[in-house]
């Protein structure tokens, strides 16, 4: 049984190419495109995310975010990716593997967001399908977890079509848009069918 990952702690996570998407670690040069997409998608994203800090879209806040991502990766706690459309390198969203627990658990949780102009076009499904082999292969995880608000039909559909199985219901699980929401709990195991 593998208890440790195989990627280097000092290097950024590699770019991962999938069906029409490329996932790579964010860097400082992504700020303008990231901030523009997040701002243009604010109304679309607000019902599904924690409250944004007042300075969330600023260059300084983005630099702090990148620094935290790098620290989390060096500590093997989380891996953040931006998702780009392969055909033209347009930023379409983001995906984070977080809450990594090693030892006997070998588990992490995925969270994601997609910009409003790119919603319901299959980019997030492709991104989730792309990151799964990386999680079970390079990171040697055994279990991936995800949670979503029951009324988020798009997220429920995405998780179910990418092989996650519903495992439960958590009351008051996450504070989303300033309100504690119940969430459906999903998981996918390394040995589950592809």
Q: Is 70 inside any structural domain?
A: yes
pLDDT at 194: 77
Q: Is 173 inside any structural domain?
A: no
- Whether pTM exceeds 0.85: yes
Q: Is 98 inside any structural domain?
A: yes
Mean pLDDT, consecutive 10-residue segments, the chain of 194 residues?
Answer: 50 86 97 98 96 96 96 96 98 98 97 97 97 96 98 96 97 96 98 88
| Count of the separate structural domains present in the chain | 1
Q: What is the CATH number of the domain that holds 91?
A: 3.40.630.30
Q: Is 181 inside any structural domain?
A: no
Residue 124 is part of which domain span?
Answer: 16-144
Q: Three-state SS across the chain?
A: CCCCCCCCCCCCCCCEECCCEEEECCCHHHHHHHHHHHHHCHHHHHHHCCCCCCCCCCHHHHHHHHHHHHHHHHCCCCEEEEEEECCCCCEEEEEEEEEEECCCCCEEEEEEEECHHHCCCCHHHHHHHHHHHHHHCCCCCCEEEEEECCCCHHHHHHHHHCCCEEEEEEEEEEEECCEEEEEEEEEEECCCCC
Q: Is 130 inside any structural domain?
A: yes
């Amino acid at each position: 049984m593998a208890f440790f990952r195989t990627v280097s702690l000092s290097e950024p996570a590699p770019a991962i190419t999938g069906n029409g998407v490329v996932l790579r670690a964010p860097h400082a040069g992504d700020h303008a495109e990231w901030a523009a997409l997040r701002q243009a998608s604010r109304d679309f994203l607000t019902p599904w995310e924690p409250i944004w800090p007042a300075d969330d879209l600023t260059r300084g806040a983005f630099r702090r975010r990148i620094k935290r991502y790098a620290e989390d990766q060096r500590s093997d706690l989380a891996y953040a990716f931006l998702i780009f459309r392969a055909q033209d390198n347009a930023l379409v969203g983001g995906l984070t593997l977080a809450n990594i627990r090693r030892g006997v658990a070998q588990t992490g949780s995925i969270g994601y967001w997609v910009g409003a102009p790119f919603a319901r076009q299959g980019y997030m499904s492709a991104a989730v399908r792309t990151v799964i082999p990386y999680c079970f292969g390079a990171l040697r995880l055994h279990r991936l977890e995800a949670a979503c608000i029951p009324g988020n039909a798009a997220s429920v559909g995405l998780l179910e079509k990418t092989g996650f199985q519903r495992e439960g219901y958590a009351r008051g699980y996450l504070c989303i848009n300033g309100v504690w929401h119940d969430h459906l709990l999903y998981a996918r195991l390394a040995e589950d069918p592809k």
